[in-house]
Amino acid sequence: MARRNLNHKMFDSVDISTSQTQSKETNTENVDQAFVIIKWTGTAPIGAITFEGSNDELNEIKKGTEVWEELYMGLVPISVTGNSGSHQIQFNSMPFKWLRIKYTSTSGIGNLTAHINATTLGA
């Protein structure tokens, strides 16, 4: 198996004054570990971040008929509070084909960016 690397923004300065139902799906197939950096800025944003995984096939993703399950992160949900802040998530294994982020807004205004970097070990 060849090495595979991912490096892109799942959210790119999205408006967090309203809920963001989902980030763009990230295909994590053949990736062993990942690191996601989440940053926000604004005026008193309050909300929650959750991660969701799916093992459905690409054709289900394209049709919008895939099934997503919320991933237990130990801190579900991850709180967004304060005028600015950040949170880091490290995945030591990727037992799902697809990953996405969901943001649920409670109040405030601001922007949120989430950047993933993932790789295959060995190979």
In whole angstroms, what is the distance from residue 49 CA to residue 31 CA? Answer: 22
Q: What single DSSP character describes residue 72?
A: P
Task: Please answer whether residues 16 and 109 qualify as being in contact, where contact means their C-beta atoms are separated by less than 8 angstroms.
Answer: yes
In whole angstroms, what is the distance from residue 10 CA to residue 2 CA? Answer: 24
Q: Give me the torsion for CA of 26, 32, 33, 34, rounded to 10°.
A: -20
Write down the pTM of the prediction: 0.89
Pairing of strands 78-80, 26-27: unpaired
Helix (H, G, I), strand (E, B) or coil at 67: coil
Tens of pLDDT along the chain (123 residues)?
567 788 999 999 999 998 886 788 999 999 999 999 999 999 999 999 999 999 999 999 999 999 999 998 776 688 999 899 999 999 999 999 999 999 999 999 999 999 999 999 875
Place of tokens 């049709």: 63
